[in-house]
Amino acid sequence: MDQSGEAGVNAAPVAKAGTYRWRVCAMLLLATTINYIDRQVLGVLAPFLQEKIGWSELEYSYIVTAFQAAYAIGLLGAGAIIDKFGTRIGYALAIGVWSLAAASHALATGVVSFAVARFALGLGESGNFPAAIKAVAEWFPQRERAMAAGIFNAGSNIGALIAPVLVPVVAARWGWQAAFLCTGTLSAMWLVMWLRTYRTPDTQPKLSAAERAYIGHEARTGQQRVPWSKLLRHPQAWTMVAAKFITDPIWWFFLFWLPKFLHAQYGLSLLELGLPLVVVFVLADLGSIAGGWLAGRLIRFGWSVNRARKGAMLVCALLIVPVAFAAKANHLWLAVALIGMATAGHQGWSANVYTLASDLFPRDAVASVVGMGGFAGAVGGMLISTVIGLLLQATGSYVPVFMLAGSAYLIALGVVHALAPRLQPVRLQSASVSAGDADKPL
């Protein structure tokens, strides 16, 4: 697989390749959207449910931590399962579990039962990103992967902005339980569509010969699944682990605490939360697509994959720095602007971090590497959830959390560059790195 970002990347005829791969990307976008609607329902309803059921700040952090713990545990095996059984079956198993788990929230009555439902949801949702990234690696050549990852990753923001618009309306009209039942139904409907339509490029009869050749112009490795113990021998694997561990907790904070922050800081009601959250996550959507587009554009300009990927990540990291001042904003829309810019930066960053897995590892190891990174991010999320709960219980101040958010990404980029200064791809067959495929240093 050509990893240099030079030869091979510009060789295929784009104009005549066809567009079926973008239909696959649309399915991944829809799945990720539903995934984030499912997990965001609780965040939107949290201020209301906290008053209705009587959670403390610390108890809410335990419910959030239950999801993240299950997400981490699920990622221990999700990538390996997807690599073993393939994207079609692996993704179907994951979404089947999270569909049932989402609906089960309607039966919850207190802290323990909500935590159990969240735990089950975390197990199922842990398969989404390993499966989606593997599908991108199967269906897209290298120069389009960051763009494809950015598009499907935008579903996380679409889901996060749909939830605050629809969930309050559904909850007000039919009760909060109906909101969870609706999202479980959406997941089940996607599962049926996925099983009916998804195939790999080699077996998809609707794919044109020209597009199949375009997708497959990079050499396939035939690599068998590699256990984590062997993958972690390579510093390239630790780039994913470190990047996700340091920055994923910030996204978890935005996802699960932003409605509570806006409610506490500016007194917004359940119905008033909708517009600010929509603005934040629309900006995040734009950032997700723009971050993937930027890296691909720089590659087309002749930059190496190494320089393009890290250059795009630097731009995204700098966008996030001003969020350190959000907790001190004296106006709602100033805070929304700072947070929206940060979520845009995070999602652009995330699109490029996910693509690092396919930059550095053969296709058959991509889901496992993404699973490792997701596990690290979930563990980081568990830690920050507990810290935030304790901090808010003791002080009620969000200032330290926003300061951490503003600095985390530049720190993470420094660690990534230290671990993989050239983004050299790993040749797992010989457990060695190919010096000939190395990129130029940044």
* Surface-to-core class of residue 223, CB atoms within 10 Å of its CB (0-12 exposed, 13-18 middle, 19+ buried): middle
Two tokens, residue 432: 């060695």
Residue with tokens 């922050």: 261
> What SS3 class is residue 54?
coil
Helix (H) or strand (E) holding 432: strand 432-433
Helix (H) or strand (E) holding 273: none
Count of other CB atoms within 10 angstroms of residue 229: 7
Confidence at residue 199, expressed as pLDDT on a 0 to 100 scale:
87
> Cβ contacts of residue 148 below 8 Å, gap of 6+?
21, 22, 25, 28, 136, 139, 140, 292
**Rounded average pLDDT over 215-229:** 60
Percent of the chain clearing pLDDT 90 (strictly above): 29
CB 352, CB 291: distance < 8 Å: yes
- Amino acid (one-letter) located at 131: A
Confidence at residue 209, expressed as pLDDT on a 0 to 100 scale:
84
CB 307, CB 439: distance < 8 Å: yes
> What SS3 class is residue 426?
strand
Angle at the Cα of 191 from the Cα atoms of 134 and 200, rounded to 5 degrees:
35
**Least-confidence region, from 117-131, 196-210, 223-237:** 223-237
pLDDT digits 0-9 by tens, 289-340: 888 889 888 988 889 989 999 999 999 999 999 999 999 999 999 999 999 9
pLDDT-derived band at 4 (thresholds 50, 70, 90) equals very low
pLDDT digits 0-9 by tens, 13-55: 444 667 888 998 999 999 999 988 888 888 888 878 877 777 7
What residues pair up with 432 in beta bridges, in sequence order?
427
- Concatenating the DSSP letter of every residue in 164-226 gives HHHHHHHHHHH-HHHHHHHHHHHHHHHHHHHHHH---TTT-TTS-HHHHHHHTTSPP--PPP-
Question: DSSP letter at 109?
Answer: -
- Please report the domains of the chain, with CATH numbers, ordered by start residue: 20-216+224-428 (1.20.1250.20)
Q: Is the predicted pLDDT of residue 405 greater than 90, yes or no?
A: yes
Question: DSSP letter at 322?
Answer: G
Number of H-type helices and E-type strands within the chain: 15, 2
Positive or negative, the Cα torsion across 102, 105, 111, 115? negative
pTM of the model: 0.70
What residues pair up with 433 in beta bridges, in sequence order?
426
Residue 216, CA atoms < 13 Å, CB-side half-sphere: 13
- Concatenating the DSSP letter of every residue in 3-52 gives -SSSTTTTTS-STTS-SHHHHHHHHHHHHHHHHHHHHHHHHHHHHHHHHH
Give Cα separations from 295 to 148, 216, 317, 346 (angstroms): 11, 21, 14, 15
Task: Please tell me the distance from the alpha carbon of residue 77 to that of residue 61, in angstroms, as a whole number.
Answer: 25
pLDDT-derived band at 436 (thresholds 50, 70, 90) equals very low
CA-closest candidate to residue 74, choices 103, 104, 94: 94
**Rounded average pLDDT over 370-394:** 85
Q: Is the predicted pLDDT of residue 169 greater than 60, yes or no?
A: yes
What residues pair up with 427 in beta bridges, in sequence order?
432
CB 380, CB 301: distance < 8 Å: no
**Rounded average pLDDT over 68-82:** 83
Confidence at residue 225, expressed as pLDDT on a 0 to 100 scale:
62
